[in-house]
Amino acid sequence: MTVVRISDDALAQACGAEDVVAAFEQAGCTIERVSSWGMHWLEPLVEIAGIGFGPATTHDVAAILAGTSDKCIGVIADYPFIARQQRLTFARAGRTRPLSLEDYAATGGWLGLGRARALAPEMLIAEVTRSGLRGRGGAGFPAGIKWQTVAQAPGPQKYVVCNADEGDSGTFADRMLMEGDPFQLIEGMAIAAHATGASRGYIYVRSEYPAAIAKLTAAVILAAPFIAPLEIEIRVGAGAYVCGEETSMLNSIEGKRGEVRAKPPLPALEGLFGQPTVVNNVLTFAAIPHILIEGGAALYDSHGMARSKGTMPIQLAGNIKHGGLYETAFGITLSELIHEIGGGTASGLPVKAVQVGGPLGAYLPPDQFEIPFDYEAYTVADALIGHGGIVVFDDSADMGRMARFAMQFCAAESCGKCTPCRIGSVRGVELIDRIRSGASAAPDEVAALPQMHNASKQASSRAEDLQLLEDLCETMKFGSLCALGGFTPYPVLSALRHWPEDFK
């Protein structure tokens, strides 16, 4: 009987995989539901004996089985988009059944944990530090140093918390990993728990990811005997973007409003329920198991450039022809990613802008596409890598509108604790509207009061409003408690700097 492998990833399902599965079942085939290879333009991707066909619809089933389908892409593993990658974290993508313990063990699963348990915690942490792994959530903080802080902190109960509140538009690597390879994440958490002395773990997943929640819930039960004494609980978010900020997430797990906490104290010392807590992103934990296998740390360190070591699962999204997951060593340029690998825009129009790092990332124009993918190089360019999401816009995009959207998004999602973010974002929307409409602000009754010495008595000019926007962004950048208010100026100012014509 023909074995047909089709992904059960949410994206494949959203593109019609269930109908294709039903059609193959009706044709008498055996179906295996595997993880996604990450070639999203080809989903639903059908695999028969290593050969791929996609994007498949129910109408293609007969031709695929007869061997006459024009949607054949050849051997999937040799397909250029896959063959060019350096997959470490996503080594199993497309190859295994997500909830099969058998597949997991057959592909090197639990080896890292086994070796970690034979090591003393300080040796284990030294290996993680040596690998050069930096937090993949966005801040890029060295994982080993964070773990060491938790390990050395006194506390009767320590926690490991996985931040799976992947709210950034243009990112989906966490989702794919949770749905496609949940045991790897759990194994990484178990290693962190062993290193730091934690006995309870939480995975905080956003409610917008129902498929990931279901997979993780099942995986945690299946993995329980392998990770004991660590116990992991899945917590579901409730639609607040700001809960992706670590302290806000800890409050949310505790059952409070997802308001940001001031730092210090660091979560590593006083985190969940006031106890020492390791908080890492999904991709950080998932990178751990293969770092801990024999020689893994040195291998990881051998990838990448400067202080950005290892591989980054880059997510190609937005208006791009070949969107999907592309894991590669740091150092690759945007122009390679967008033009060579991504095939340009989906619409066929020229690329106008790229937003790297989610809603809080800068918009980069094509003349900056040569900077290497590296934490420090992006900082120099006033941009950020964030979670590695790349959203491409074609030349129909209105960057003034995108700048306004950044402020609007910040206003909608602000936790409200600090003033620059809560009020600055609302004023930002008003100000961008005023600049774009060409109107000027006439002094109101309050501005006319004699005690308002510094208020302008004349209507504001466009130049004054632009200066005001820059000042507002400055205030938000340096006065906000967390990255939401602090980084919203990046998309706003980069749009203003590179596309001033879109603000007229």
Residues that bind other proteins (CB under 8 A): 10-11, 13-15, 40-41, 43, 166-172, 174-175, 207-211, 233, 235-241, 252-259, 273, 315-320, 323-324, 346, 355, 359, 389, 391-394, 397, 402, 405, 409, 413, 415
Beta strands in 257-388 (DSSP E): 277-281, 304-305, 308-309, 311-318, 324-329, 351-356, 363-364
Q: Which is nearer to other proteins, 254 or 471 (CB)?
A: 254
275/280 with CB nearer other proteins: 275
Q: How far is CA 325 from CA 10, 51, 206, 344, in A?
A: 14, 19, 20, 15
CA angle at 386 for the pair 381 and 387, rounded to the nearest 5°: 145
Q: Which is nearer to other proteins, 221 or 442 (CB)?
A: 221
Beta-carbon count within 10 A of 26 CB:
10
Distances (CA, A) of 390 to 350, 358, 369: 16, 7, 12
Nearer to other proteins, 195 or 403 (CB): 403
Least separation, in Å, of the C-beta of 17 and other proteins? Answer: 11
Nearer to other proteins, 42 or 48 (CB): 42
> Considering only CA atoms, which of 234, 248, 240 is closest in space to residue 205?
234
CB closer to other proteins out of 165 and 187: 165
What span, in angstroms and rounded, lies between the C-alpha atoms of 72 and 58?
A: 15
Q: How far is the CB of 192 from other proteins (least distance, A)?
A: 19
Separation in Å, CA 273 to CA 159, 255, 259, 264: 9, 10, 15, 15
Write down the least CB distance from residue 491 to other proteins, Å.
9
Q: How far is the CB of 450 from other proteins (least distance, A)?
A: 40
Question: Residue 464 CB, nearest distance to other proteins (Å)?
Answer: 29
Q: What are the helix (H) ranges across 59-199? A: 61-66, 80-83, 101-106, 111-118, 121-131, 143-152, 173-180, 182-196
What is the closest distance, in whole angstroms, from the C-beta atom of residue 150 to other proteins in the complex? 18
CB of 254 to other proteins, least distance (A): 4
**Residue closer to other proteins, measured from CB, 278 or 391:** 391
- Min dist CB 11 to other proteins, Å, is 5
Of 104, 98, 83, the closest CA to residue 5 belongs to 98
Residue number, 392 or 435, with CB nearest to other proteins: 392
Cα–Cα distance, 268 to 259 (Å, whole number)? 18
Looking at the Cβ atoms of 52 and 318, the one nearer to other proteins is 318
By C-beta, is 175 or 309 nearer to other proteins? Answer: 175
Give the neighbor-by-neighbor strand order of the sheet with 51-53: 30-34, 3-7, 46-48, 51-53, 72-75
Smallest distance, other proteins to C-beta of residue 276, A: 15
Q: Rounded to 5 degrees, what angle do the CA atoms 83, 87, 93 make?
A: 90
**C-alpha separations of 367 from 47, 287, 398, 471 in Å:** 39, 33, 18, 26
Which alpha helices (H) appear in 132-202, and where do they start and end?
A: 143-152, 173-180, 182-196
Q: CB 127 → other proteins: shortest distance, Å?
A: 31
